[in-house]
């Protein structure tokens, strides 16, 4: 059977006009939180709602996920939000939103302490707004009904990657570039699409695992005398490298953590998950499946009844984004070029230049909707000049998600560590009283 990628690259897509017509016909306007009503109806009594993002640096993805999360909490009794973040850092936010003692004076104070690169993913005004809303909500309910905020990354993979690189910079600068190349298997976003799909899948394929193992071997072989500092510094760097090598366990443990959180919150608990599209969109609808890979969205779907799980993807045609040119580089506000015409974003732009919500059950049975098209993905590392050949994951959209929010033009996220301008105040969390 041909892979999704082979079906995407074998021929020029010829059904763009027809697909654009279908998308125009089934789309719902998306202007304010009230326009999420059709999605709320589609979610129904689901216990797991996974919300994606096409980049880690786009304001509208955070704001729409915030609005939807607020409605899920208020109207459907969801119990917590679990995000693509390190457990220790996010637990500090959890302590604040639940009003625990000595948890911090404000959400801005707590989030401003997120100083490890990429700081902007969670230390931003959009999350300040969400955290303050959660705190206000929790102050109005009983202790057992307080909404939690957790990081699914119990291994702190980002922190481990950074720790190894910082150690190498201090002890063996010549090994830094090799380490960064090895770690690009986790966060390339802007290079080869094959590498991108591998990066966000549930395990490291043999070729990439070999790089990580080689880097670990180099650490053992080339580092200064391990007796320095009692050998502890070397041990810590080696341990961090092992964490990265064991990425297969990492992704499965994220799902295990989600299930443990559900059990902790009781038999009626419901979970909201915020992660990148490539984590929450079903891997079987992309070229990841051809390499035998899975991701969080697929694992959750496989573990539960279809009516209990709703996957929601996001995408945009053009705009601004916050990212770095390479791992550890200063954050920048970058311009996101117009999407490729043969991509899902390109087709949705052709359908209309309006923001829109698509319930993908409405087109899943039509053959033209099952054509694999490119679907843009941007991470913390991004190079707009590579847009013409990178950043697109071949995707059968109605199989990858249950719903899709398309935003024609988007703005950059508002990081706390960039001096705020007049327009960088916390965004409106809800435009009216509910």
Question: pLDDT for 48-104, tens place per residue?
Answer: 999 999 999 999 999 999 999 999 999 999 999 999 988 888 889 999 999 999 999
Tokens of 248: 């297969």
Cα torsion 172, 178, 180, 184 to 10°: value is: -160
Rounded (5°) CA angle 14-17-19: 90
The pLDDT of residue 221: 53
The pLDDT of residue 108: 94
Every domain range in the chain assigned CATH 3.40.1660.10: 4-156+248-424
Tokens of 177: 């570039």
Segment 108-140, tens digit of pLDDT: 999 988 877 889 999 999 999 999 999 999 999
The closest alpha carbon to 220, from 248, 243, 250, 242, belongs to 242
Lowest mean pLDDT among 131-140, 170-179, 212-221, 364-373: 212-221
Segment 376-397, tens digit of pLDDT: 999 888 989 887 667 898 999 9
Tell me the pairing of strands 373-376 and 392-395: antiparallel
pLDDT, greater one: 158 or 355: 355
The CATH label, of 1.10.3720.10, 3.90.79.10, 3.40.50.300, 3.40.1660.10, for the domain at 4-156+248-424 is 3.40.1660.10
Residue 275 confidence (pLDDT) above 90: yes
Kindly state the percentage of the chain with pLDDT values over 70: 73
Between CA 6 and CA 329 the distance in angstroms is 34
Site of tokens 């959180």: 261
Between CA 99 and CA 113 the distance in angstroms is 18
């Amino acid at each position: 059977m041909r892979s999704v990628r082979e079906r995407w690259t074998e021929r020029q897509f010829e059904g763009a006009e027809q697909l654009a017509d279908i998308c125009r016909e089934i789309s719902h306007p998306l202007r304010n939180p009230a326009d999420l009503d059709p999605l709320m109806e589609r979610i129904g009594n689901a216990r797991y709602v996974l919300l994606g993002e096409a980049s880690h640096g786009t304001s509208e993805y955070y704001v729409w996920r915030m609005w939807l999360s607020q409605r899920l909490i208020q109207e459907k009794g969801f119990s917590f939000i679990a995000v693509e973040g390190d457990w220790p850092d996010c637990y500090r936010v959890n302590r604040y939103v639940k009003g625990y003692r000595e948890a911090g004076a404000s959400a801005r104070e707590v989030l401003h302490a997120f100083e490890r690169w990429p700081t902007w993913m969670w230390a931003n005004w959009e999350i300040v707004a969400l955290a303050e809303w959660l705190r206000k909500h929790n102050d109005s309910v009983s202790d057992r009904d307080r909404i939690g905020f957790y990081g699914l990354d119990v291994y702190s993979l980002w922190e481990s990657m950074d720790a190894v690189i910082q150690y190498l910079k201090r002890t063996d600068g010549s090994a830094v570039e090799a380490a960064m190349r090895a770690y690009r298997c986790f966060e390339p976003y802007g290079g080869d699409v094959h590498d991108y799909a591998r990066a966000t899948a549930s395990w490291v394929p043999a070729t990439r695992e070999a790089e990580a193992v080689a880097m670990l071997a180099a650490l053992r072989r080339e580092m200064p005398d391990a007796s320095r500092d009692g050998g502890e510094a070397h041990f810590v760097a080696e341990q961090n490298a092992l964490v990265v090598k064991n990425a297969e366990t990492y992704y499965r443990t994220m799902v295990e953590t989600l299930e443990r959180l559900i059990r902790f919150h009781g038999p009626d608990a419901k979970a909201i998950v915020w992660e990148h599209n490539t984590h929450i969109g079903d891997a079987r609808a992309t070229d990841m499946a051809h390499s035998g890979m899975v991701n969080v969205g697929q694992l959750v779907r496989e573990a539960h009844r279809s009516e209990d799980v709703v996957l929601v993807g996001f995408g945009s045609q053009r705009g601004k984004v916050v990212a770095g040119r390479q791992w550890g580089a200063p954050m920048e506000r970058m311009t996101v070029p117009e999407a490729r015409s043969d991509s899902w974003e390109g087709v949705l732009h052709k359908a209309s230049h309006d923001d829109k919500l698509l319930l993908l059950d409405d087109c899943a049975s039509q053959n033209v909707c099952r054509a694999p098209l490119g679907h843009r993905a941007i991470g913390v590392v991004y190079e707009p000049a590579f847009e013409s050949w990178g950043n697109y994951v071949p995707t059968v959209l109605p199989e990858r998600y249950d719903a899709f929010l398309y935003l024609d033009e988007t703005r950059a996220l508002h990081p706390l560590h960039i001096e705020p301008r007049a327009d960088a105040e916390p965004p409106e969390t809800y435009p009216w009283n509910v």
